Amino acid sequence: MRIAVGSDHAGWPLKESLVAYLMGRGWDVEDFGTFGPESVDYPDYAQKVAEAVARADVDRGLLICGSGQGMCMVANKVDRVRAALANDPVSARLSRQHNDANVLTMGARMVAPALAQEILDTWLTTEFEGGRHLRRVEKIGEIERNGPSR
């Protein structure tokens, strides 16, 4: 599985830790940055990762900022992306089982590195259940294709 990773300056230290963790476990990682502590704008990195997922250049995406909220909001603006904020393993598991989330966002100010690894492991190894959940995920795609209700 190929994973695109991105962060802003607040998420950079955790991103670095998780990239090393993923590579150590044999995952194929494409790091979109940022690559240091200098202040940057999270939408720039969220968009790069989300578009890589939407184009199917990668299988999944991981985004990290201070809270995880901003990255999640931006990623969900990209068609075919279903980003989920998960700062605990249960949310990560359910985002995959029920929503087929293809981008995970986390808050570096919310989770310690060991917990972030557990969340990421859970998210990467949980399969989408399909069934009744597939119908709901397909409705998300319909909303993307049809635009806002009038």
User: What residue numbers bound the domain in which 31 lies?
Assistant: 2-146
Q: Which amino acid is at 95?
A: S
- Options 9, 65, 72, 133, the catalytic residue: 65
**CATH number for the domain that contains residue 115:** 3.40.1400.10
Is 133 among the catalytic positions?
Answer: no
- Options 9, 72, 98, 133, the catalytic residue: 98
Is 65 among the catalytic positions?
Answer: yes
Would you write out the chain's pLDDT as a tens digit for each of its 150 residues?
999 999 999 999 999 999 999 999 999 999 999 999 999 999 999 999 999 999 999 999 999 999 999 999 999 999 999 999 999 999 999 999 999 999 999 999 999 999 999 999 999 999 999 999 999 999 988 888 887 776
Do residues 52 and 4 make contact, with C-beta atoms less than 8 angstroms apart?
yes
Number of domains the chain contains: 1
